[in-house]
């Protein structure tokens, strides 16, 4: 019976903290409305809203939940970020991750993150995630931050 009932709950990072700048054609996307949606235990998921400041800066806190890992089930977390700016909706982030640890969406803690709304989604693939984003970041600085 311990196989099914003795498992302990652990924390899963459903969405890692993310901060950076939103731009449109190189200019700050001041006041852009950000919608974060994620799902992991049902198809309805949860939605949260944020707003970029006058410089296009945004900050999304870490979202976590407790769950019981089970060897017969794979954890899969779906994430979407859409940004409404000047009446147009832009999909900025479309990811899925299966590792509950922080920053497994990109494999790094992204530094100097810039999300250019006019860009196409770039595909992101790693062992623990798959998706696309319009965001770029300083890869070298991210690697150094993880090493510390």
pLDDT in tens, 2-33: 555 557 888 999 999 999 999 999 999 999 99
Per-residue pLDDT band at 93 (split at 50, 70, 90): very high
Residue 95 CB contacts under 8 Å (≥ 6 apart), including other chains: 78, 79, 80, 105, 124, 129, 130, 131, 132, 133
Q: What is the pTM of this model?
A: 0.85
113-141 pLDDT per residue, tens: 999 999 999 998 887 888 999 999 997 64
65-75 pLDDT per residue, tens: 998 887 777 88
Average pLDDT of span 69-87: 89
Domains of the chain: 12-147 (2.60.40.10)
* CA distances for 99 relative to 22, 57, 79, 94, angstroms: 27, 28, 13, 16
């Amino acid at each position: 019976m311990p196989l099914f009932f003795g498992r302990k709950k652990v924390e899963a990072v459903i969405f890692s903290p993310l901060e950076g700048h939103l731009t449109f054609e190189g200019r700050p996307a001041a006041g852009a409305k950000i919608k974060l949606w994620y799902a992991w235990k049902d198809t309805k998921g949860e939605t949260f809203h944020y707003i970029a400041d006058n410089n296009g800066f945004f900050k999304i806190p870490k979202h976590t939940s407790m769950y019981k890992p089970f060897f017969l089930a794979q954890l899969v977390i779906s994430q979407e970020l859409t940004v409404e700016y000047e009446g147009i909706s832009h999909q900025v982030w479309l990811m899925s991750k299966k590792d509950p640890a922080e920053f497994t969406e990109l494999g790094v803690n992204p530094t100097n993150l810039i999300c250019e709304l006019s860009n196409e989604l770039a595909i992101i693939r790693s062992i623990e995630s798959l998706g696309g984003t319009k965001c770029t970041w300083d890869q070298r600085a991210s690697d150094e931050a993880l090493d510390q």
